[in-house]
Amino acid sequence: MEVPQLINEAINWVYFSTLFIAVIYSIVRFNKLDRAGKYICGFIWLSFLTESMGWAAAFAFANNLPVYTISNILELCIISLYFNNSVRKLNVYHIGVLIGITGVVLGGLNIVLLQPINTLNSNFVFIECIVVVCLCLYSIFTMLMSDEEVTLHKEFHFWIICILLFYQCASLGNWGLLNYFIEFLPDKLIFWHIALVLVYTITYISLIILFYYYPKLKKTDV
């Protein structure tokens, strides 16, 4: 086995182990989390379920894209509900709920009209990233403009926002390079996969660390 393949195998095992630990930690912390934080647990559980079903689908049907297509739609719903419960103004007007419902509709239309469920749903991945980044930036803005004294680096939800920003932007950047690798660097495609898995691994390691320090952090709704 060549070195890149060995690295890929090692990173895959680290990723799945990290995701499993994140699931366990989220279960342990679940009852102590505020309502918004519980949706982040849902985000982790969805990821674990998706990866498990994706592995099984790849083994059984040689195509796991339908699993990830549905998962992306559900992921946007969960993240929207997180912001709906962590930002007061979004909660008052149920904006997060409306975004989640709109995401389901757009995801369904994308599957029916543009990108079938067994293909890469790049359109929705792009939309999800834009929506989540906008929600993250708005949430940070409300923290900065809050009448309450907010120390950002001590805020649980500030670090959740940072993690989501990294996850969405880095993931979109990787997926945006996929066609380039396929067309011009097919023999280097394994490095693209390694980079993508590293993004996911860093995301869940960050969430594990955040859950560990949760009792020491403030949980200010803005």
**Predicted local confidence at residue 222, as pLDDT:** 56
**Predicted local confidence at residue 114, as pLDDT:** 96
CATH code at position 27:
1.20.1070
Q: Residue 220 — pLDDT band, cuts 50, 70, 90?
A: low
**Rounded distance between C-alpha atoms, residue 204 and residue 208, angstroms:** 6
Would 161 be classed as within a structural domain?
Answer: yes
Say which residue the tokens 């962590």 belong to: 86
Range of the domain at 182: 3-216
| pLDDT (tens digit per residue) in 116-155 | 999 999 999 999 999 999 999 999 999 988 777 778 888 9
**Rounded distance between C-alpha atoms, residue 171 and residue 80, angstroms:** 18
| pLDDT (tens digit per residue) in 8-62 | 899 999 999 999 999 999 999 999 999 999 999 999 999 999 999 999 999 999 8
**Rounded distance between C-alpha atoms, residue 32 and residue 45, angstroms:** 17
Would 221 be classed as within a structural domain?
Answer: no
**Predicted local confidence at residue 149, as pLDDT:** 75
Would 61 be classed as within a structural domain?
Answer: yes
**Predicted local confidence at residue 160, as pLDDT:** 97
Residue 155's DSSP bridge partners are 218
Would 222 be classed as within a structural domain?
Answer: no
Residue 46 CB-half CA count within 13 A: 19
Would 109 be classed as within a structural domain?
Answer: yes
CA distances (Å), origin 151, targets 114, 135, 164, 217 = 45, 20, 19, 10
Total domains present in the chain = 1
